[in-house]
Structure 1
Amino acid sequence: MARGRAGLSPLLGARARLRWVHLTLGGALLMPYFLLTEVAVGVLAGGSNARDSLPLSLAAYAAALPLVAVTGLFRLVRPMSVAAARALCGVPGERFAEGPARSWAARGRASAWWTLHLGVGALVSGMSLAVPPMAGVLLALPFVSALRELPVGLGPFDVQAHPYVAPLLGTALLAGLVLCAAGAGTLLARLAPVLLGPTAADRLAAAEERAADLAVRNRLARELHDAVGHALSAVTLQASAARRVLDSDPDFVREALAAIEDTTRRTVGELDAVLGLLREGDGAGAGGGGLPAAPTLAADLDGLLARSRASGIPITARQDPGPAGDWGRLPAIASREAYRIVQEGLSNALRHGTGPVDLRILVRVRGGQGEPGGQGGQGERGGQGESGGQGESGGYEELEITMTNDPAAAAAAAAPGARTTGGRGLQGAAERAALLGGQVEAGPHEGRWRLRAVLPLGEGVR
């Protein structure tokens, strides 16, 4: 019994029945086209009723298919067809294309499917309506004498003369209907991924969308790492320094506590913005327009240095904005990424330095081919420093960031077992620079630990 059921499953199983429903749906969708062409064929045939003539009905059916093909070119036909085929044809959903058809090649394939579905579905629907009543009459013919008076026949065979053979004919008709429906359903199921599957353009668009989404998520991950990592390093050192001088230098303690408060408040704001985008899912679009406003070199570098100095770390900063004399004229993206690179350099120095850390920072705009130029006397903004130099180069195309630790910190970083290749932070800084066509170098240099980044600016500061 179980083997018998398994053998009939392709013909009468749940999947076969769903495909039969799918075909019937196609027949129902063809009806508006058929009714329109039926009127036209009747008029051309001299006012005859096409329903009373099988040849005229077939002509109306044939005339309806070109109309079906034309309407199948509409973009929304594909998602509608995909939804029906995914639910009723038993084809894995990942084999179908998503969304409306974008290219004409995709529209043509969707139109071919639409025409095939409606055309074959109409034939199977017509058979499903006509065959069961006829088969029922044939099956009951030997047992109901009144039925023998009806003009029932099947081709050249006269069922009135041989009434007890009629049930065999009725069974054969039902079996033929089942076979036709199962065969048509299987055919459509095999063609569905071919005609409704993604085209090369669809695959490329999907790959670009995934790449854009991944790029935005990586950007969010870098923002989280840089903001939270630096905040934790700075707050830890500030709290440690305040604890050491709690009794002897209350003014420094108050300054450190104020820096801790400011650092945590700013970081919580950045953290909330990024987590909000992650919760929204699609809020981080491919263009990255939903990213939170990031701090910039022009507006926030002084505050970053001040908060870092509050931990008691000597930091010497020299800044040379070039002949323009204004960091605000930097391209916005370069200013954002430069700030994060400086922040990561500070985090590494504060996290990995041993003993007093003398951190020197040079941020300058320089010519792409020559030595740096700039207006003298810019000096350090908000701390100890040196005056900027003045050069003759007229092409100011790069932003250079150089950060060096004192020899003790460099020796500790280069000691056996120490991490010299950088972690996620330095990798993130390199990725930030690479997005702008620049580069980051980090490692021992002349007895010091040096982080050097070069960011192309193009025409941004001219």
Structure 2
Amino acid sequence: MSRFLGLLFGRQARRRWIHLILGGALAMPYVFVGQLVVGPATNSRYVFNDLPLQLLSFIVGLPLAALTAALFPLTRPLEAGAVRSLCGVDAGLLAHGPARSRAAKGRAAAWFTLHLGFGGIISGMSLAVPPFAGFLTALPLLVWLGGAQLVDLPEALDRTWVLALAPVAGVATLVALAGCAAVCGSLLARWAPALLGPTPEDRLAAAENRAADLAVRNRLARELHDSVGHALSAVTLQASAARRVLDTDPDFVREALAAIEDTTRRTVGELDAVLGVLRDGDTPGTAPAPTLGADLDGLLHGTRAGGLRVTARVDADAGALPPVLSREAYRIVQEGLSNALKHAGERVSVTLRIVIAEGDLEISVENPLTHAPTCRPGGGHGLRGIADRARLLGGTMEAGPAEAVAAQGIWRLRVRLPMTCPPTPRERP
């Protein structure tokens, strides 16, 4: 019994009842418009006082409601919000954006019509049934107090058994009203995911947005890894080298400290640019991303200050490269030198070549294989990041012991990037 009463008068049933009454309130303007059509069509001056004409006006107004939902795409998110709050439907089953496609607009129109139709009926019953039920419940008391002077009753109602059943009938009408509201509310809650849920086009658009967001996140992760990781590796080695020769080679110490200062200042600017994207969406940060044409010399200087002997051969006009290619090439060179700093040890020779071959920009970094790399916890993403950058630009990457010079123990990183490359996700129109 308690479960039955909960289905009729529980919290969820009451909220769905409110949702239906909201639909009845939304239906009133369309009923008034329907009266303007029904009145002249039936030559009636008082449509409001005629129940059949009122019902006819209600029926005429429903197609206008459907047309409204089809013409205004925001009807769907507004209705979805009401369904989520009042009908207890999971938000993941509902669409949150405006209806754009024809199918989505048709479903939204069908839902809006059902909501206003059920809501208008339940609202009318909610206005008429409670006073009638109250009258039936109080009828024996009214007859006992005033008889026919207070209540004009038909002769049949003077019978005692009829008066005794009147309160029962009043309570039954209230239960029937609650049952109708519960059934209509349950039907709308069941139909809501089908009519207000995302269409295949909505799911495709959502998947594309998620893919774009993931691409941006991956790009930012690569930027942070390459920029901050290289800076920390370089600063660590520069400080270590300066500490060892602090008393014997002050000129080298001064050079190392200046390189540390320059590296940290540049990295803070890059970090601020990346964090600015995270804070402000697509708004650029205060510092531009480094490029091969503008920042290669500073990168080589900072790397050499850490004790790494870098021989650079640049047979390409870095300043004439496309901006995207120049930026990604800088990060690839930076990560290649960072790997050499971390794994090849200090005071080793690294050969960097940047050339244009067969229409591609070719970058190669070679360093001696001194010992097996010792990766820090959570590291090991450098080569994968280089591979991701190359793949996004339509290029290729090779990394490993160089076959032609395997006897000398040389590790080679080679990347080929097409001179004409697609834009990265953040730069797509």
Residue 428 to residue 158, structure 1, CA distance change in 2 (3 Å): farther
Q: What's the counterpart of residue 82 of structure 1?
A: 80
1:301 deviates by: 0.6
Classify the secondary structure of the residue corresponding to 1:403. strand
Match of 1:442 in 2: 399
> Which residue is equivalent to 2:389?
432
Partner of 1:458: 420
Secondary structure of residue in 1 paired with 2:371: helix
- In structure 1, stretches of 5+ residues that fail to align are 368-396
In structure 2, the partner of 1:277 is 277
Q: Distance in 2 between matches of 1:271 and 1:310?
A: 22
1:114 to 105, 112, 115: 112
Q: How many residues align?
A: 409
For 1:36-91, what per-residue CA distance to the aligned partner results, in whole angstroms no more than 9, with x for missing partners? Answer: 21122112221421122222111101100000000011111011101111110011
Question: What residue number does 2:426 align with?
Answer: none
Post-superposition CA distance 1:412-453 (Å, at most 9, x none): 147xx889xx92011101101110011111111123000000
TM-score (norm 1): 0.84
Contact 2:276 2:285 (8 Å CA) reproduced: no
| Change over 3 Å in CA distance of 1:93–1:151 after alignment to 2 | farther
Mapped contact 1:213–1:284 kept (Cα < 8 A): no
Matches within 5 A, 1:151-190: 159=157, 162-190=162-190
Once the two structures are superposed, residues 124-150 of structure 1 have per-residue CA deviations (whole angstroms, 9 ceiling, x without a partner) of 000000011111111111221257575
Deviates more, 1:190-199 or 1:249-258: 249-258
Q: Structure 1 counterpart of 2:201, which letter? A: A
Distance in 2 between the 1:42 and 1:418 partners? 85
Match of 1:93 in 2: 91
Shift of 1:216: 0.6
* Counterpart residue number, 1:305: 300
Question: 1:229 is matched with which residue?
Answer: 229
Are the aligned partners of 1:274 and 1:291 in contact in 2 as well (CA < 8 Å)? no
User: Which position in structure 2 is the counterpart of 1:327?
Assistant: 318
Matches within 5 A, 1:2-151: 4-73=1-70, 74-145=72-143, 146=146, 150=151
Which residue does 1:336 correspond to in 2?
Answer: 327
CA distance in 1, matches of 2:199, 2:322: 39
1:141 is paired with a residue of what secondary structure? Answer: helix
**What SS does the corresponding residue of 1:144 show, helix, strand or coil?**
helix
Alignment check: 8 A CA contact 2:273 2:289 kept: no
- How far has the Cα of 1:289 moved from its partner? 6.5
Quickly say closer, same or farther: Cα 1:158–1:255, change in 2 above 3 A. farther
**Alpha-carbon RMSD:** 2.2
User: For the Cα contact (< 8 Å) 2:352–2:363, is it kept in 1?
Assistant: yes
CA contact (8 A) 2:344 2:371 kept: yes
How far is the alpha carbon of 1:159 from its aligned partner?
Answer: 4.0
In terms of fraction of residues, the more helix-rich structure is: 2
Distance (Å, rounded) in 2 between the aligned partners of 1:249 and 1:272: 35
1:228 and 1:267 in contact (8 A); partners too: yes
CA shift in 2, pair 1:331/1:160, >3 Å: farther
- Does 2:277 correspond to 1:315? no
The Cα shift of 1:185 comes to: 0.6
The answer (yes or no) to whether the contact 2:366–2:413 under 8 Å persists in 1 is: yes
The match for 1:255 is 255
Stretch of structure 1 that moved more, 126-135 or 91-100 = 91-100
Q: Which amino acid aligns with 2:371?
A: A
Asked if the contact 1:413/1:449 (under 8 Å) is kept, the reply is no
Aligned to 2:425: none
Bigger shift: residues 358-367 or 164-173: 164-173
Residues 355, 223 of structure 1: alpha-carbon distance in 2 compared, 3 angstrom cutoff: closer
Q: Distance in 2 between matches of 1:449 and 1:151?
A: 107
Distance (Å, rounded) in 2 between the aligned partners of 1:147 and 1:269: 92
Aligned-pair identity in percent equals 57
- Paired residue for 1:296? 291
- Could you tell me which residue of structure 2 aligns to residue 204 of structure 1? 204
Structure 2 unaligned regions, length at least 5: 423-429
User: Structure 1 counterpart of 2:63, which letter?
Assistant: P
